Chain A
């Protein structure tokens, strides 16, 4: 911020964060600005054919608007695929499948999302991807600090501790990972129990008697 209550920013100056799992490039606008009213982020792709928007439905219940800022995005929404040039607006309801690739080099899409009648909570999903990007770059402590900061902000409740457990398990910090996993289970055994048996992020913990005890 300028210290004056406003900020000027170029979308090209946003960090490039590899989207964990499918490889799209997230440009975390909401976190960069500290914008709180609803979700807003940017996705970009350098080459035609590159992945642009991860394939997903919105479990959060958010309706979303995608604005093609530049280039051309090849959107698939439901079972329909169309090319959307710069200036296109695509509205997608929460339970509808959507994904996109770049149909031109240097394509950029802004995505906004929120749910009618509900206060927006970030959920911290962007933070997870930012932290893992740090880990992939060898900055274990930096990524951990980001994950821990979201827990301190109370964004996640059980999810923050669970994601940190995953992070620490991948980073090879077994004792700390198990401690976070135990906390997550204490906060919400039902939700953690859905993920724990098959989450490959926790593979380094499997076989440890303490993990097997928690998993029971």
Chain B
């Protein structure tokens, strides 16, 4: 039986203080999007503030344990176990703070009318521990695996370039940064200010902002 418990999933701490518990990635689910989120402490972020404007996902957040204070489109709602918020409008800003230290929120999401596509951010999140420990080869490998499925994804290319620049693979970093900028020119503006590219910013061919 392919079974686990939410508390046994990887716990990847993100910069905003929430903890990503990768369910979809754990089971390699391909038919839909599903993850869980926990927090470091009561009062900490459990769902990062964001919109789904880019992916156009409908999302359901179910509180499985503890309590969470959701803010959706500026409205606040305190939810306990077995309560959910369904956000149909991808443009609505949403986020949640855990009111209990052991709060768990299940998140389900996808785009209506389209086959599910694995979100590129999952690889970026999954690479965070490796990047934090400066295991650049591992961080690069995670991005390369994701790019095999989505070869021209600009954010993945950009992040890969970041990891390569930090890992000393300067030519690869330049190549992938230029590919990202070719797909979405605005990445050049990010690159101009991004400390990850400090080692290659003066190299010939570095994209101009």
Contact = CB atoms under 8 A, between A and B. Distances in A.
A194 interface: no
B100 interface: no
A102 B208 CA distance: 62
A61 to B, nearest CB: 9
Interface residues of A, number: 49
Contacts of B31: 38, 62-63, 113-116, 118
A120 B33 CA distance: 13
Contacts of A91: 2-3, 27, 29
A37 B9 CA distance: 25
Interface in B6-37: 6-7, 9, 23, 26-27, 29-34
Contacts of A82: 1, 3
Contact of B4 (A78, A88, A119): A88
A21 interface: no
Given A91-B27, A116-B116, A77 B1 contact: yes
A137 interface: no
Contacts of A114: 31-32, 110, 116
Given A11-B82, A35-B60, A113 B32 contact: yes
Interface in A1-44: 1, 4-12, 33-40
A38 B7 CA distance: 25
Interface in A77-132: 77-78, 80, 82, 84-92, 108, 110, 112-120
A88 B3 contact: yes
A75 interface: yes
B104 interface: yes
A89 B104 CA distance: 13
Contacts of A133: none
Contacts of A34: 88
Given A36-B112, A37-B110, A37-B111, A89 B87 contact: no
Contact of A37 (B32, B65, B82): B32
Contact of A87 (B7, B34, B60): B7
Interface in B93-117: 94, 104, 106, 108-116
Contacts of A88: 3-6
Contact of A6 (B26, B82, B86): B86
Contact of A119 (B29, B94, B104, B115): B115
Contacts of B75: 4
A8 B110 contact: no
Contacts of B124: none
A67 to B, nearest CB: 6
A88 B116 CA distance: 24
A112 B5 contact: no
Contacts of B127: none
Interface of B: 1-7, 9, 23, 26-27, 29-34, 57-58, 60, 62, 64-65, 72-73, 75, 77, 79, 81-89, 91-92, 94, 104, 106, 108-116
Chain A to chain B: the 5 pairs with minimum beta-carbon distance, closest first: A5-B89, A37-B110, A114-B31, A116-B30, A36-B112
Interface of A: 1, 4-12, 33-40, 62-63, 65, 67, 69-70, 75, 77-78, 80, 82, 84-92, 108, 110, 112-120
